[in-house]
Structure 1
Amino acid sequence: MTPHRITIRVYYEDTDFSGLVYHASYLRFLERGRTELLRAAGIDQSALHAGGEGLFFAVRRMTIDWLVPARMDDVLTVETRTAELRGASIILAQRILRGEQVLMTAEVRVAALIGGRPARLPDGLRAILEGR
């Protein structure tokens, strides 16, 4: 699957006292990447949750490698792609880049939940994420 890409500028609020991006800010950048991947695929998370069954996603596990720090005013690219679909979860591969330089990588497993319990991914959603 071709990665989905969004561009993010680093603001003062994203940094710590040293001017480097604070580690938790990367989590927000990754979340935006996952949300925009779904939106670009025509999946409205609000509608999924509000619709019939109340499906929503929760991060189950995240593995992150910080390689190079980002700084205030950097323009970053967040790449997100579906790495694997399972019964009730999705594994996403994400990277944050400054130009061609990879700053960090992440593997994120999100669980599909209904009423706080694991739920199979609907067939239509699965087909969209598989690129069918």
Structure 2
Amino acid sequence: MSGVHRFPVRVYYEDTDMAGIVYYANYLRYIERARSDWVREIGVDQLAMKAEGVVFAVRRVEADYIQPARFDDQLEVETTLVKLTPARMIMSQTVLRAAEVLFRAEIVIACIGPGGKPARLPAELRALPIAVGS
């Protein structure tokens, strides 16, 4: 699978703050769910990875909050794999309400093994059609 992965999200009352808008940290939850769904769709079993002592870890997040989302909004998270190396991936994620961009983030995900040492990404990820080191 390559291209853009799309993940729907509904804003619930519990997602909002006192001003009635989505609390800023919840955007990180939304994009995490979308990445988990993307990984599952391409055939990576994170529980099997964990059993082998290898996990994903967010190494870096750069986020832009552009417009607020509100209670009951129907949002969509778009996830795109930007760069792939043997032990990490860089992803671009955008949260939209219809065509309106609300939030953008660039995420660096590292694959780590025992003791927090870098580990190779699963074969399903390394096989994606993005040149290593691009």
TM > 0.5: yes
CA RMSD of aligned residues (A): 1.6
State the distance in 1 between where 2:11 and 2:34 align.
15
Whole-angstrom CA distance in 2 between matches of 1:48 and 1:103: 33
CA-CA distance at 1:125 after TM superposition: 2.8
Q: Which residue of 2 aligns with 1:14?
A: 15
Letter in 2 for 1:79: E
Question: What is the Cα deviation at residue 121 of structure 1?
Answer: 1.9
TM-score (norm 2): 0.90
The residue that corresponds to 1:102 in the other structure is: 101
User: Do residues 71 (structure 1) and 67 (structure 2) align?
Assistant: no
The answer as to 2:77 corresponding to 1:93 is no
> What residue in structure 2 maps to residue 127 of structure 1?
127
- Paired residue total: 129
The alignment partner of 2:50 has SS state of: helix
Shift of 1:35: 0.3
Provide the identity percentage.
49
- For residues 63-122 of structure 1, give each alpha carbon's deviation from its aligned partner in whole angstroms, at most 9, with x where no partner exists: 001110000100000011110012311000100000011111100001100112111224
Taking a change above 3 Å as real, the CA distance of residues 60 and 129 of structure 1, as seen in their structure-2 partners, is farther
Q: Show structure 1 runs of 5+ residues with no match.
A: none
TM superposition outliers: structure 1 runs of 4+ over 6 Å: none
Q: What stretches of structure 2 of length at least 5 have no aligned partner?
A: none
Alpha-carbon distance, 1:129 to partner: 6.7
Tell me how far apart the structure 2 counterparts of residues 68 and 49 of structure 1 sit (CA, whole Å).
36
TM-score, normalised on structure 1?
Answer: 0.91
User: Is the contact between residue 75 and residue 98 of structure 2 (CA under 8 Å) also seen in structure 1?
Assistant: yes
Correspondence for 1:117: 117
Amino acid at match of 2:126: R
